[in-house]
Amino acid sequence: MTALPPGTRARADGQLETLPRNAPAGVRRRALLTQARRRSLAGLLFVLPGVLPLIVFVVYPALNSLVMSLTNWDLTGHRDFVGVQNYLDLASNSQFLHALVTTAEFALGVAIPGAVLAFVLALLLDAGVRYTAWYQPLLFFPVVLPSVVSAILWAVMYQGGGVINNLLGTKVGWLTDPSWALFSLIVLLLWTNVGYYTVIMLAGVRDVPREYYEAARTDGAAWFGLIRHVTLPLVRPALLFIVVIATADSLTLFAQPYLMTRGGPGDATRMLSELIYDTAFNFQNIGKAAAMTFVLLVAALSVAFVQFRILRSSHD
């Protein structure tokens, strides 16, 4: 689009008209804006209330973190530009690499069982088994429980003489045995979030037109066939949403591991979010922590991209 010369305006026939010098200022100003520009400006003003907070609270802090990751800022004073040194250091930082792997294991342990559990529970709820009205709020209850409360509750249950060992007749150190600690945290996060995932999945399941089931039954499909060939393909958007959200929940989980294991035993449950917190605020190495944050961000975006590619519906 070509800008109009100052002091002119476009006539209805498309010709340029030079405005007289004594034309009112408002008319001269309006003339500077073509109709298309005015429309763009109006659109911009409409989206500004939504975009501005995004810039201030998301884009700006993210870019600020990126700048920080290129420094050796110690929170209180020294801040020198070190280029990509923090990123290079991470490549040989065994604790960071271990935390990256642990975070990935945890995310995998939550996302896939979370989606499967949500699907099964949604099917049960959709089938209208007895007392569904009771089960639904019960399933959702852990979602509204503060994470600190659920962490303390489960820490007590996981103790050597706790209710879980008593029920199972075992003597497992759920939080103190390195082979069980991560699993114990996965169970806790599943318990906390599966109600939310189920609500999403239930909406997806109930969205499937009933006629499709009738048509499939007419063609001789059994229960498993209905689930496999009708329900599953049509709830893929909900499934994708749950997997992405569960992965994001796992990647950013902080309160429960921090309160229950502090990353231990050893490094068995040390995930990136806790390592970033420690590095930034306990060790006051903001530059390094910011670099870790960006690696986590890139990893999260990559995982989300792959999940979208795998799970998106064919007609998308």
Partner 1 sequence: MTGRKAWLVLPMLLALATQACSSAPAGDATAGTGAGEQIQLSYWNHINKPSNDYETKLIADYEAANPNVKINYLTVNDADMQTKLTTAIAGGTGPDLVNQDQSFLPALVAQGAVVPADLSAMGLNDNAGFDQKYSATIAKGYSIGGTIYAIPFEVSSYAFWANGAIFKEAGLDPVADFPKTYDDLIRVGKKIQESGAAKEGIALTMYAAGRDLIQLDAMARQAGGSLVSDDGKTPQLSTAPVAKALQMWADLARVHKVNDPSLGPTASTNAEDLLGNGTAAMVNTGGSWLIGVLKAQYPDVYSNYVVGQWPTFAGGPAIGGDLYGYGLMVTKLSKNQAEAWKFAKYMTDHASDYFTNTGIWLGDTATLNSDATKSFPHWDVFSASFQRGSFLPPIVKTNEFSQVVSRAVQRAVLNGEPVEAVLADAQKEAQPLFQ
Instruction: Give me the residues that bind partner 1 (CB under 8 A), please.
Output: 55, 59-60, 63-64, 66-68, 71, 74-77, 79, 151-152, 155, 159-161, 171-178, 258-262, 264-268, 278, 281-284
CB of 165 to partner 1, least distance (A): 8
C-beta closer to partner 1: residue 70 or 121: 70
Cα–Cα distances in angstroms (integers) from residue 296 to residues 60, 100, 302, in the given order: 18, 8, 10
C-beta closer to partner 1: residue 69 or 247: 69
C-beta closer to partner 1: residue 140 or 294: 294
Query: Beta-carbon neighbour count of residue 233 at 10 Å?
Result: 13
Structure tokens given for 215:
């048509």
C-beta closer to partner 1: residue 218 or 282: 282
CB of 266 to partner 1, least distance (A): 4
Q: Which value, to the nearest 10 degrees, does the dihedral of the CA atoms of residues 207, 212, 217, 223 take? A: -30
Cβ contact 254:273 at 8 Å: yes
Report the C-alpha gap between 69 and 64 in whole angstroms. Answer: 9
CB of 56 to partner 1, least distance (A): 8
Cβ contact 155:223 at 8 Å: no
C-beta closer to partner 1: residue 67 or 138: 67
C-beta closer to partner 1: residue 52 or 310: 52
CB of 55 to partner 1, least distance (A): 6
CB of 250 to partner 1, least distance (A): 19
C-beta closer to partner 1: residue 119 or 258: 258
CB of 58 to partner 1, least distance (A): 9
CB of 156 to partner 1, least distance (A): 8
Cβ neighbourhood burial of 238 (10 Å; 0-12, 13-18, 19+): buried
